[in-house]
Chains A and B, each alone.
Chain A
Amino acid sequence: MPLLTVANLEKAYCSPEGTQTRVVDVPHFELEAGSQTALKGSSGTGKTTFLNLIAGILHADSGQIVIDGEEMTGLSESGRDSLRASHIGYIFQTFNLLHGYTALENVVLGMMFGKGVDVEFAQHLLERVGLGDRMGYPPSQLSVGQQQRVAVARAIANRPRLVLADEPTGNLDYHRANEAIALVRAICHENNAALLTVSHDVGILEQFEETADFAHVNRA
């Protein structure tokens, strides 16, 4: 059985004019455990919405999302929160680090609502992403590349089976972007997490063996 199965997923937004605009319409999508897939799509095509649906941050209008045998779409909101906490790591385009906390604390916060806090593992992850000497720094005192690596460490902190990455290299230059993708891929591999990356950046997609056009996945 695949780690992630999406079937007949639909999501529409209410536009300011009051009409319903369908943003996501995915008849079928699958991801194997431990696999790494990149989806390419231009801006505004519903990639973020799609990932938010998988993460349970948004509730689907219809269809199924099954993660590791659990049906996200059938759960209550707090059930989706739990499933997200236990199964999913999320790397955001803007990283979404908490500014009042140090790098280490940000990673620890990634563990707090799931399988439990393991400070040693958090330290290990920061060392793994090359920030062993920056653990006590707040995000504001880290470079953009360093912030991205904290976000990567946090996404993996809870030992998720699935990591979602939304434009994970959004603000990095070409060279750093490639490094960053390599790191995300390596770290997911090391921790037995499947990786689903979405991006409009053709450059970084070259690194993935499995890539698809988001337009083929999403009919909307």
Chain B
Amino acid sequence: MSLLFIVRRSLRQHALSTLIAALSIALGTGLVMAVIGIKAQSVAAFTGGQIGFDAVLGARGSPLQLVLNTVFHLETSPGNIPWAMYQAMRDDPRVELAVPYALGDNYHGFRIVGTTRTLFTEFEYRDGVRFQTQGGGRFFNPARQEAVLGSYTADKLGLKVGDNFNPYHGLVFDESMRHDEQYTVVGVLKPTNSPSDRVIWIPIEGIYRMEGHVLRGSGEDYVAEPGREIPDEHKEVSAVMLKFRNPQIGFLMDATINKQGKAATLAWPIGAVMARLFDKIGWMNQILALVSYIVVVVAAGSILASVYNSINERRREFAILRSLGARRKTVFSVIVLEAASISAMGVVIGFIVYGVIFTAASAIVRAQTGIVLDLLSFHPAFIIAPVCVIILGAVAGVLPAVKAYRTDVAANL
């Protein structure tokens, strides 16, 4: 038996105010950990290696827009580039993989991306891992009106292999923009926890031949005619997704395409482009962090108030303990320990709060981007924040402890 015995008993005697103070600490700690954890994981997910491509080649303009539009399937397309640019990349021996994307249609808000079968047969969205279909599905036949759905898309739309649907024109869903072409779902991909889960893949020819689509690859308008091959010069792509044989090539291409050329933009490296975005919105995170720190400080204040208020009614208890031989500093320690214990309980509950906030936030991130944040991934803040909060709780106990320390024994017996 030790001082903790006294601490535990008195916390139980003031269960309600203890609980309220602990819950406010839990809220504060949970917020702090969530803000830090979600930020760290988002940065990791959006700038880290799990993209599979090194660079994106697209229309002259903002690299960030290019990356958001192609890698994350957000934002509008900055425009198209001629098919020849794709061919040049595809045939460049320094390029390991070049995949064309043609954008412009959606189905109930889910983007339809026209591409080639290389996306399924050669692209590794994670080291050594390619797209795979679930159940009995298969990849599309480039000559047919067939579609392969990302897992999240299939889930949300309730579409399965064998179902038919009509694409809608534009990247934003508009009921009046329905195309007449009908597509058949031939495969649903296994979940990748990446933006690809929110996409509908169709053959790139399908985009070209969609009614109302005008091709301007040659500089003149061209409309595909059924049954007739489209000359390469008229074709265009929204972007070419690139994987280089080594990082130096990106460096060289950055120089030739971005610095010397004027025809296109190479977004490279993708991670760095996204990192710049996070730098730009860093202030938002700072505000969130500030708010969460304020909540922690207010919570520490509630510990102070809760413990401080109990001191008056407990004067006799302190006097009795002193009469039994307890020293002033023992009484002081009991109170500081009590405040720290409330804080520690709050921290434990704080992990639940963190879990709830994180789960909610990651559901939003997933719905918006397809990226799945990992609740259990470790961050040093999960140790530093609790330790700091417990210390802060102990500090909040100092003022009440001084009051208890000053209790006059003879006057309170």
Interface footprint category on B: 20 to 34
- Tell me the bound Cα distance from A81 to B329 in angstroms: 11
Residues from chain B with Cβ under 8 Å of A86 in the complex = 325
Q: How does the 8 Å CB contact mask read for B326-346 relative to A, with 1 for contact and 0 for none? A: 111110000000000000000
A148 CB–B CB distance under 8 Å? no
Q: Are A113 and B326 in contact (CB under 8 A)?
A: yes
Residues from chain A with Cβ under 8 Å of B317 in the complex = 98, 100
- Tell me the bound Cα distance from A81 to B327 in angstroms: 6
Q: Output the nearest chain B residue to A114 by Cβ-Cβ distance.
A: B325
A85 CB–B CB distance under 8 Å? yes
Known: A112-B1, A113-B330. A81 touches B322 (CB 8 A): yes
Q: Are A57 and B324 in contact (CB under 8 A)?
A: no
A110 CB–B CB distance under 8 Å? yes
A50 CB–B CB distance under 8 Å? no
Q: Are A96 and B320 in contact (CB under 8 A)?
A: yes
Q: How does the 8 Å CB contact mask read for A52-95 relative to B, with 1 for contact and 0 for none? A: 10010110000000000000000001100110111000101010
Residues from chain A with Cβ under 8 Å of B316 in the complex = 96
Q: Are A112 and B327 in contact (CB under 8 A)?
A: no
- Tell me the bound Cα distance from A110 to B321 in angstroms: 8
Known: A96-B320, A98-B317, A98-B320. A158 touches B325 (CB 8 A): yes
- Tell me the bound Cα distance from A97 to B316 in angstroms: 10
Interface footprint category on A: 20 to 34
Residues from chain B with Cβ under 8 Å of A94 in the complex = 413
Q: Output the nearest chain B residue to A116 by Cβ-Cβ distance.
A: B1
Residues from chain B with Cβ under 8 Å of A57 in the complex = 322-323, 409-410, 413
Q: Are B328 and A113 in contact (CB under 8 A)?
A: no
- Tell me the bound Cα distance from A86 to B326 in angstroms: 11
Q: Output the nearest chain A residue to B326 by Cβ-Cβ distance.
A: A113
Counting chain B CB atoms within 10 Å of each CB, which of A77, A90, A96, A114 scores highest? A96
B359 CB–A CB distance under 8 Å? no
Q: Output the nearest chain A residue to B317 by Cβ-Cβ distance.
A: A98
Q: Are A78 and B320 in contact (CB under 8 A)?
A: no
Q: Output the nearest chain B residue to A55 by Cβ-Cβ distance.
A: B323
B9 CB–A CB distance under 8 Å? yes
A215 CB–B CB distance under 8 Å? no
A121 CB–B CB distance under 8 Å? no
Distance from B53 Cβ to chain A, minimum over Cβ atoms (Å): 66
B42 CB–A CB distance under 8 Å? no
- Tell me the bound Cα distance from A55 to B322 in angstroms: 11
Q: Are A81 and B320 in contact (CB under 8 A)?
A: no
- Tell me the bound Cα distance from A119 to B1 in angstroms: 10
A135 CB–B CB distance under 8 Å? no
Distance from A147 Cβ to chain B, minimum over Cβ atoms (Å): 13
- Tell me the bound Cα distance from A101 to B410 in angstroms: 22
B1-48 at interface with A (beta carbon < 8 Å): 1, 6, 9-10, 12-13
- Tell me the bound Cα distance from A77 to B410 in angstroms: 13
Q: Are A112 and B409 in contact (CB under 8 A)?
A: no
- Tell me the bound Cα distance from A130 to B6 in angstroms: 26
- Tell me the bound Cα distance from A5 to B322 in angstroms: 23
- Tell me the bound Cα distance from A41 to B250 in angstroms: 101
Q: How does the 8 Å CB contact mask read for A175-187 relative to B, with 1 for contact and 0 for none? A: 0000000000000
Residues from chain A with Cβ under 8 Å of B325 in the complex = 81-82, 84-86, 113-114, 158
A109 CB–B CB distance under 8 Å? yes
Name 6 interchain pairs, CB-CB below 8 A, sorted by A: A52-B410, A57-B322, A78-B329, A100-B10, A113-B321, A158-B325
**A-to-B contact residues, CB < 8 Å:** 52, 55, 57-58, 77-78, 81-82, 84-86, 90, 92, 94, 96-98, 100-101, 105, 108-110, 112-114, 117, 119, 154, 158
Give the 10 A-B CB pairs with smallest separation, nearest first.
A85-B325, A113-B325, A81-B327, A113-B326, A78-B327, A96-B320, A57-B409, A100-B13, A117-B1, A84-B325
Q: Given A57-B323, A94-B413, A96-B320, output 18 extra A-B contacts at Cβ < 8 Å.
A: A52-B410, A55-B323, A77-B327, A81-B326, A82-B327, A86-B325, A90-B323, A90-B324, A96-B413, A100-B9, A100-B12, A105-B9, A108-B1, A109-B6, A112-B324, A113-B321, A114-B324, A154-B324
